[in-house]
């Protein structure tokens, strides 16, 4: 009974609009990430849900209750703050027990709950310390513990893993997903780390400039970005985006840029000839043969694969990615082609809408192609 | 780690010595020397105008402990210090909390609140004596008009009115110090602590006791210690307001020292009182040092 619904929620700070008419339907028990660059309004959105910030207009609903007029303590939520916000004068144990204490939970029960949560977060040896005697990562886990110790309807997490080292972050990611599965509670998770969002979420809400850009499962956000911003924001290394022109002849679309002319698949009805943008992910660039030629400019070796940056004749740069044993030397001239099934066409502008139609069925198709590719390679 | 000092360490040490030397010299001249001469004088019976006298050993001290004047003054000093300190703290915290809110006249109020603290004691006491005056004072006028009293009250000439008046004026004069110190601390408490407490289900009262007060604890220890020491040795305000009267009912230790030294011309005795005062304040100091060392604070 705890879906979370934002209907046309707007937040203004003075004349500055931090969140524009946000509509978001988060299902009960869903793990949703708010993902976006710094300053895009993620924290503001979360704080409105927590009741720490009041929407300038619109409604927020948790379960069956519109919570606009409910105090944070009445919303049955728990939150992990970006800055931890641990009570400095209380021990770790008291910090974690505090929300229970304020809700009138008996001492014995409190202690049991704290002990259990501390065990989960590997905090047991630290229970009698004060927050200032902890490292940043430990403090963050205590903050997480203070939220997890209760069983609220919705968990709100504001970049809870940002200060952990890579190994602990990986561990906590798995733990959180596992925890979410076990508790079955709705979780709203703010992050600017796409890896976190991609690996943990049921759905990702990509935000930018206070506007919702796309709200979809991770695979969909990756494979079918709603617009050019999402395409460029998601994926490391990022999608190659090239500006050029779209022309139509006999019902067939062609994208052309200096030194490049590509036939493109079926487009949406709204597509218009004129300036447009061609996007292709590094894994869909096939280096070795093809109609396009370029010069290898940079090769980045990550161990299991190599990222190859190629300068095209028209001056554009393009990123490709190949398994580790294959490599190219800098300055080498190569030919390449694109997996046009996975290439995208966006309308002009930084937030130009994606114009190509989805290739269905996506996942099967994708699997299929991968195997075909492997076969051709071997 | 070798215990041998390196050349660099020795150079730093020399530089350090050179830098603190002037301070140490001045400190000796204006603090250590008077301190020791007070202790020295307290073993003599000294006639103030000539500063001549003879060694009397501990007799000043035994006289001090036997006469009622010392105990009376000590009692008055404690009543005055505790009473006025208590009001200063309560008033100071209360007003700091109000000024910490986002009220539109906040910056104006903040500067106005400092007024009693910055006004010269002589001026403040003169104004208060007017207010207290039983013939033409506004306080009596208002109280009679409202009907609380029938005849003018003698605020400064009778007990316990005199002590209460002294305590009230003291609280009025010194509470701004508490306001400023507490306000500064309040502003440095992260807002997120309050937000976390709200989400954890704490109401306004619980937030005050669970977030604000623990955060204020350290600054309050410092304020209370400082104000206790300053109130304990307060002289000018009380002297100007009541002169220690009626009789010696508001005579505190500093007034007694002054009286012994310059009215009764017994510098030796006055020094003995001063030394005892210093010993009492030393206790405050030790408590303070213990408190601040116990727990490095938050
Ligand atoms: N109290 C405030 N007053 C004015 N502007 C604010 C306030 N809080 C946030 N903003 C502005 O609203 C925008 C969104 O802020 P928000 O904190 O939601 O960003 P964010 O997405 O959480 O970024 P980050 O990843 O850096 O935490 C920012 O441009 C910020 O400057
Ligand atoms: Mg944020």
For the domain A229-377, what is the CATH code? Answer: 2.40.50.140
Q: Is A130 close to B298, i.e. CB distance below 8 A? A: yes
Could you please report the per-residue DSSP string of A46-72?
HHHHHTSS--SEEEEEETTEE-TTS-G
The residues near B24 (Cβ < 8 Å, ≥ 6 apart) are: none
Q: Which CATH number fits domain A4-224: 1.10.3720.10, 1.10.3080.10, 3.40.640.10, 3.40.50.300?
A: 3.40.50.300
Strand, coil or helix: what is A217? coil
Distance CA B273, CA B70 (A): 8
Element holding B172 (H helix, E strand)? helix B161-187
Say yes or no for a CB contact (<8 Å) between B198 and A71: yes
Please list, in sequence order, all residues whose beta carbon lies within 8 angstroms of the beta carbon of residue B177, skipping any fewer than 6 positions away: B88, B92, B117, B223, B227
Mutate to test the pocket of ligand 1, among A9, A19, A20, A43 (most ligand atoms within 8 A of CB): A43
Interface A–B counts its CB contacts (< 8 A) at: 64
Which residue, among B180, B174, B171, B169, has the nearest Cα to B93 in the 3D structure? B180
Q: Indicate if ligand 1 lies below 6 Å from the C-beta of A42.
A: yes
Cis peptide before A135 (omega within 30 of 0): no
Question: How far apart are the CA of A229 and the centre of ligand 2, in A?
Answer: 19
Q: Bridge-partner residues for A5, per DSSP?
A: A25, A61
CA of A40 to the centre of ligand 1 (A): 7
Query: Hey, whose CA ends up nearest to atom 1 of ligand 1?
Result: A13
Of residues B205 and B290, more confidently modeled:
B205
Please tell me what DSSP assigns to residue B5.
P
d(CA B146, CA B134) in angstroms, rounded, equals: 16
Q: Which two tokens stand for residue A323?
A: 């398994």
Instruction: Give A44 Cα–ligand 1 centroid separation in angstroms.
Output: 6
The overall average pLDDT reported for chain A is 88
pLDDT at position A378 is 34
SS (HEC) of B102-170: CCCCHHHHHHHCCHHHHCCHHHHHHHHHHHHCCCCCHHHHHHHHHCCCCCCCCCCCCCCHHHHHHHHHH
Bridge partners of residue A191, in order along the sequence:
A35
Q: Whose CA is nearest to atom 7 of ligand 1?
A: A13
Per-residue model confidence as pLDDT tens digits over A328-346: 889 989 998 888 888 899 9
Q: How far is CA B98 from CA A87, B179, B180, B186, B190, in A?
A: 23, 10, 12, 11, 17
For residue A16 the two structure tokens come to 């500055």
Residues of B with CB under 8 A from a CB of A: 190, 192-193, 195-203, 206, 210-211, 214-215, 217, 298
Give the phi and the psi of residue A225 in degrees, each rounded to 5.
-55, 140
pTM for the model stands at: 0.79
What pLDDT does residue B3 have? 64
CATH fold group of domain B71-294 = MetI-like fold (1.10.3720)
Confidence of residue A268 (pLDDT cuts 50, 70, 90): confident
Return the pLDDT at B85.
95
Has residue B106 got a pLDDT over 80?
no
Q: State if residue A37 touches ligand 1 by the CB under 6 angstroms criterion.
A: no
Task: Say how many Å lie between the CA of residue A43 and the centre of ligand 2.
Answer: 4
User: End-to-end distance of chain A based on CA atoms, in angstroms?
Assistant: 52
Interface residues of A toward B, Cβ cutoff 8 Å, are 50-52, 71-73, 77-79, 81, 83-90, 98-99, 102-103, 130, 132, 146
Q: What pLDDT is attached to residue A236?
A: 86
CB A234 within 8 A of CB A192: no
CB A159 within 8 A of CB A139: no
In terms of DSSP bridges, do strands A31-35 and A203-208 run parallel, antiparallel, or are they unpaired?
parallel
Contact B211, B189 (CB under 8 A): yes
Looking at residue B6, what DSSP letter applies? P
Q: Please state, in angstroms and as integers, the Cα–Cα distance from residue A301 to each residue in A295, A321, A378, B150, following that order.
A: 17, 10, 21, 96
Higher pLDDT among residues B1 and A11, named by residue: A11
Q: Name the residue in chain A with its Cα closest to that of B207.
A: A102
Nearest residue by C-alpha to atom 2 in ligand 1: A13
For a ligand 1 pocket test, name from A22, A37, A42, A207 the mutation site with the most ligand atoms within 8 angstroms of its C-beta: A42
Residue B192 CA from chain centroid, whole number: 35
- Using DSSP, state whether A355 is helix, strand or coil: coil
* Helix/strand/coil for A191: strand
pLDDT of A375: 36
A102 and B298 within 8 Å at the Cβ level: the answer is no
Tokens at B106, concatenated: 């906040």
Q: Is the pLDDT of residue A376 over 60?
A: no
Q: Quick: pLDDT tens for A101-111.
A: 999 999 999 99
pLDDT tens per residue, range B200-223: 999 999 999 999 999 998 899 889
Q: How far apart are alpha carbons A72 and A79 in whole angstroms?
A: 10
B152-206: per-residue pLDDT in tens?
A: 778 788 888 889 999 999 999 999 999 999 999 999 999 999 999 999 999 999 9
A43 lines ligand 1 (CB under 6 A): yes
Residue A46 CA: nearest ligand 1 atom is 18
Q: Which pLDDT value is given to residue B2?
A: 53
* Closest Cα to atom 24 of ligand 1: A38
pLDDT digits (tens, 9 = 90+) for A97-156: 999 999 999 999 999 999 999 998 889 999 999 999 998 888 888 998 999 898 899 999
Q: Which residue of B has its CA nearest to A49?
A: B199
Q: Report chain B's mean pLDDT, rounded to a whole number.
A: 87
Q: Could you give the percent of chain B with pLDDT greater than 90? A: 41
HSE-up (13 A, CA, CB side) for residue A133:
14
pLDDT at site B44? 84
Q: In angstroms, what CA-CA distances link B115 with A139, B10, B99, B131?
A: 43, 50, 15, 17
Between chains, do B210 and A87 touch, taking CB under 8 Å as contact? Answer: yes
Tokens representing residue A14 in the block: 């003075």
Q: Residue ranges per domain, chain A? A: 4-224, 229-377
Closest ligand (CA of A18): 1
For residue B206, the chain A residues in CB contact (below 8 A) are 102
CA-nearest residue to A51 within chain B is: B199
């Amino acid at each position: 009974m705890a879906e979370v619904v934002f209907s046309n929620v707007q937040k203004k700070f003075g004349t500055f609009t931090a969140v524009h008419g946000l509509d978001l339907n988060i299902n009960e028990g869903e793990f949703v990430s708010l993902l976006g660059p710094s300053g895009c309004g993620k924290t503001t959105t979360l704080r409105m849900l927590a009741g720490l910030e009041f929407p300038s207009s619109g409604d927020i609903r948790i379960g069956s209750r519109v919570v606009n007029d409910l105090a944070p303590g009445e919303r049955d939520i728990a939150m992990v703050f970006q800055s931890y916000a641990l009570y400095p004068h209380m021990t770790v144990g008291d910090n974690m027990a505090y929300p229970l204490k304020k809700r009138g939970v008996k001492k014995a029960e409190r202690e049991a709950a704290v002990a259990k949560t501390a065990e989960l977060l590997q905090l047991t040896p630290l229970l009698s310390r004060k927050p200032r005697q902890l490292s940043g990562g430990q403090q963050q886990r205590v903050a997480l513990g203070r939220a997890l110790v209760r069983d609220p309807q919705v968990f709100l997490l504001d970049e809870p893993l940002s200060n952990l080292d890579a190994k602990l972050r990986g561990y906590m990611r798995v733990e959180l997903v596992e925890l979410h599965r076990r508790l079955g509670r709705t979780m709203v998770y703010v992050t600017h780390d796409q890896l976190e969002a991609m690996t943990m979420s049921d759905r990702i809400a990509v935000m930018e400039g206070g506007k919702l850009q796309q709200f979809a499962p991770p695979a969909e956000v990756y494979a079918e970005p709603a617009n050019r911003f999402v395409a460029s924001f998601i994926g490391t290394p990022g999608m190659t985006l090239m500006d050029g022109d779209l022309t139509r002849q006999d019902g067939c679309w062609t994208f052309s840029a200096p030194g490049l002319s590509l036939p493109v698949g079926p487009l949406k009805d709204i597509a218009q000839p004129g300036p447009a943008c061609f996007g292709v992910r590094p894994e869909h660039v096939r280096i070795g043969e093809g109609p396009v030629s370029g010069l290898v400019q940079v090769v980045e070796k990550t161990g299991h694969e190599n990222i190859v940056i190629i300068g095209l004749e028209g001056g554009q740069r393009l990123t490709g990615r190949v398994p580790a044993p294959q490599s190219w030397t800098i300055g080498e001239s190569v030919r390449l082609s694109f997996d046009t099934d996975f290439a995208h066409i966006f309308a002009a502008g930084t937030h130009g809408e994606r114009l190509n139609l989805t290739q269905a069925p996506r996942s099967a198709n994708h699997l299929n192609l991968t195997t075909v590719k492997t076969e051709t390679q071997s | 780690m070798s215990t041998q000092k390196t050349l660099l360490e020795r150079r730093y040490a020399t530089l350090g010595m050179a830098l603190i030397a002037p301070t140490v010299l001045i400190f000796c001249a204006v603090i250590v020397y008077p301190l020791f001469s007070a202790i020295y004088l307290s073993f003599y019976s000294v006639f103030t105008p000539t500063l001549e006298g003879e060694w009397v050993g501990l007799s000043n001290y035994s006289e001090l402990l036997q006469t009622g004047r010392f105990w009376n003054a000590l009692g008055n000093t404690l009543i005055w210090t505790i009473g006025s300190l208590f009001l200063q703290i309560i008033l100071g915290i209360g007003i700091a909390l109000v000024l910490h809110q986002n009220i539109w006249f906040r910056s104006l109020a903040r500067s106005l609140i400092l007024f009693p603290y910055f006004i010269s004691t002589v001026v403040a006491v003169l104004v208060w004596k007017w207010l207290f005056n039983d013939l033409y004072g506004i306080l009596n006028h208002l109280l009679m008009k409202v009907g609380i009293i029938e005849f003018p009250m003698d605020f400064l000439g009778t007990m316990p009115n005199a002590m209460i008046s002294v305590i009230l004026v003291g609280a009025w004069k010194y509470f701004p110090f508490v306001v400023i110190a507490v306000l500064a601390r309040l502003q440095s408490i992260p807002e997120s602590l309050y937000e976390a407490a709200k989400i954890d289900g704490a109401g306004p009262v619980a937030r005050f006791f669970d977030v604000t007060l623990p955060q204020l604890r350290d600054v309050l220890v410092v304020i209370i210690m400082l104000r206790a020491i300053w109130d304990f040795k307060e002289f000018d305000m009380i002297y100007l307001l009541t002169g220690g009267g009626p009789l010696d009912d508001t005579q505190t230790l500093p007034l007694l020292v002054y009286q012994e030294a310059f009215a009764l011309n017994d510098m030796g005795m006055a020094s003995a009182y001063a030394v005892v005062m210093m010993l009492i304040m030393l206790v405050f100091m030790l408590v303070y040092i213990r408190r601040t060392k116990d727990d490095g604070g938050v």
